Amino acid sequence: MGETAKKAILAVSFGTSHSDTRKVTIDAIEEDLKAAFEDYSLYRAWTSKMILARLEKRDGIHYDNVKKAMERMLRDGITDVLVQPTHVMNGVENDLMKEDVLAYEGQFQSVSFGTPLLTTEEDNKLVVKAIAEAFPAIEDKETALVLMGHGTEHYANAVYAALDYRFKDMGHENVIVGTVEGYPEISQVLKQLEKCGPKKVVIAPFMIVAGDHAKNDMAGDEPDSWKTIISKKGYEVETVLRGLGEYESIRHIFVEHAKAAK
């Protein structure tokens, strides 16, 4: 890499229209990346067209999508790009992001990719350890922890069931992973709760941000929210509106994935 090289990290997130959770999740991940890569400029791109349009219309705030971010880096004279997604898995969003980035590959000296949160078995172990440390109450077998993931039709959805298995394999029988738009569903979550028989259930989002799904589908008062459904089964329920990006140990995994891609 020559003396004139200008390096940048492109942090790619799905995005959120909730500024409260953005500040403590996506922004926090980006700050950690910036601190770890002092000689890199930091750029941001979001992949959700719906969220980008909503922010522009509602708040007059503009964030780049991946293509616009790549064009911005070209204009700024960036020569070497390290792309670090804040995605949970190697799913649809990550696939589309890679396509958009690689369309510009020939215009940079180098383009490299860090991996999403759950990519290797070692990642799974680290995430289990991070969640277990964040929720010491699960050591009490009368308390269960239910993690609500997003879910997807992409085959990568299998990571949720694998993670659920990993929790149990590492001694956390009372941690249950479900999804709001995939498998395992809330019905499978209820079956597992019956098996472990807790008195109290803590529900937390297994998503980078604690946005619409966390506030409404998980913790809302509507009849179909997970809080309501689980409460009706007779459990004492506590909801924790804390996105994965708030956990320092989770952010550390993203930083390590970026370092591995250098």
DSSP string, the chain: --TT--EEEEEEE---S-HHHHHHTHHHHHHHHHHH-TTSEEEEEE--HHHHHHHHHHH------HHHHHHHHHHTT--EEEEEE--SSSSHHHHHHHHHHHTTGGGSSEEEE---SS-SHHHHHHHHHHHHHH-GGGGSTTEEEEEEE---SSGGGHHHHHHHHHHHHTT-TTEEEEESSSSS-HHHHHHHHHHH--SEEEEEE-SSS--HIIIIIIT-SSTTSHHHHHHTTT-EEEE----GGG-HHHHHHHHHHHHHT-
pLDDT at 2: 46
pLDDT at 5: 83
Amino acid 117 reads L
- Among residues 62, 87, 150, 154, which one is catalytic? 150
Provide the mean pLDDT of the chain: 96
pLDDT at 261: 97
- Examine the pLDDT at 18 and tell me if it is beyond 90: yes
Contact in structure between 204 and 242 (CB atoms under 8 Å): yes
Mean pLDDT calculated for residue range 148-174? 96
Mean pLDDT calculated for residue range 40-57? 96
Q: What is the pLDDT of residues 180-237, one digit of tens each?
A: 999 999 999 999 999 999 999 999 999 999 999 999 999 999 999 999 999 999 999 9
Q: Is 62 assigned a catalytic role?
A: no
Q: What is the pLDDT of residues 83-140, one digit of tens each?
A: 999 999 999 999 999 999 999 999 999 999 999 999 999 999 999 999 999 999 999 8
pLDDT at 115: 98
pTM above 0.85, yes or no: yes
